Amino acid sequence: MAYNMVVLVKQVPDTQNITGQAMKEDGTVNRAALPAIFNPEDLNALEEALRIKEQSGGKITVITMGPPSAAEVLRESLYRGADDVILLSDRKFAGADTLATSYALCLAIKKLAAYDLVLCGRQAIDGDTAQVGPQTAEKLGINQITFVDRILELKDRSITAERSIEGGYEIVKAQLPILLTITDEANIPRPPAAKKVLAYKYAVTPAEINNYDEEYLRANEIEASNVIIKLWDHEEIGAAEAHCGLAGSPTKVKQIESVVLEAGEFKQIENSKAGFETLIKELMHEHIIG
């Protein structure tokens, strides 16, 4: 049978590759200078959906919530084979914690005709909370399998998957509809397909087409048919303002400190046998080794 799939993705600052340019003089990170990327494990989730579609057929809808610039991860999704893409963007969504995020995502998913599977990455590298997946499942009122390393079988309405647990794995079987959170062990995500990049390079949201100047639109032959990325705000999904964004978030950030690890007393050890001898003797003397 064919499956209707929803993949939840996020655009994140690339916190894993912080280069010198992103460091301020006081040793803290200039977050604005970090490149925005497709959250790595969300790519694994998309890849898993694409494989299911190749095997069984179906439709893949990718949803992201974020600022207008997050449309980029939706273009990236189109390049890889997504059928339909939706950007949830609204000032009202700003400052959402995981609870308010899952509220909006749930309403967006419910607006779709039908779904069998919801897939998302295990966690996003900016917050590393791994909470939005399970919370979205709860709000949808469906079952979940988290930390999925492998989908072993998908047959009719039944799914068997391997999920990682401490020091091993477990194989669980459950029924659709279900939400899966996918780890980076699951697959190696495919690169964008050249043909699709050409086709969707200028896929835009209704807001983007209004913001570009005429010359840019003409030069790139962008017209109404390029408005492929749906743009939904809080009214479109029927969200109550009080449950969106900062207002709908029980958690508040009280304080943020940059981590500057303190330097201890430092001794340069000469790269020689004599140097090592001094070091080892010192460590032995302090009963640290020996």
Q: Which of residues 82-121 bind another protein (CB under 8 A)?
A: 97-99, 102
> Rounded to whole angstroms, how far apart are CA atoms 170 and 284?
45
For 80, other C-beta atoms within 10 Å of its C-beta total: 22
- Decide if residue 164 touches another protein (CB under 8 A): yes
Beta carbon nearer to another protein, 56 or 143: 143
Structure tokens at 136: 């979205």
Give the x-and-dash track for 253-272 against another protein (CB under 8 A).
xxxxxxx-xxxxxxxxx-x-
Spatial contact of 54 and 80, defined as CB atoms under 8 Å apart: no
Size of interface with another protein, in residues (CB under 8 A): 78
**Taking CB under 8 A as the rule, does residue 155 contact another protein?**
no
Nearer of residues 169 and 212 to another protein, judged by Cβ: 169
The residue from 94, 169, 193, 212 that contacts another protein (CB under 8 A) is 169
User: Which of 36, 112, 125, 246 is close enough to bind another protein by CB under 8 A?
Assistant: 125
Give the one residue of 36, 130, 217, 246 binding another protein; rule: CB under 8 A.
130
Using rule CB under 8 A, residue 163 touches another protein: yes
For residue 176, state whether it binds another protein (rule: CB under 8 A).
Answer: no
| CA end-to-end distance (rounded Å), the chain | 65
Which two structure tokens, joined as six digits, stand for 58?
């179906």
Quick one: 113 or 256, whose CB is closer to another protein? 256
Instruction: Enumerate residues 6+ apart whose C-beta is below 8 A from 29.
Output: 18, 22, 23, 258
CB of 288 to another protein, least distance (A): 5
If one asks whether residue 236 binds another protein (CB under 8 A), the answer comes out as no
For residues 119, 123, 127 and 133, what is the CA-based torsion angle, rounded to 10 degrees? 40
How far apart are the C-alpha atoms of 268 and 109, rounded to whole Å? Answer: 58
Task: Decide if residue 18 touches another protein (CB under 8 A).
Answer: yes
- Of 95, 143, 227, 233, the one binding another protein (CB under 8 A) is 143
Report yes or no: 106 and 237 within 8 Å, Cβ to Cβ: no
Query: Is residue 224 within the footprint of another protein (CB under 8 A)?
Result: no
Q: Tell me the C-alpha distance between 3 and 180, whole Å.
A: 14
Could you say whether residue 281 binds another protein (CB under 8 A)? yes
CB within 8 A of 156, min separation 6: which ones?
1
280 is an interface residue for another protein by CB under 8 A: yes
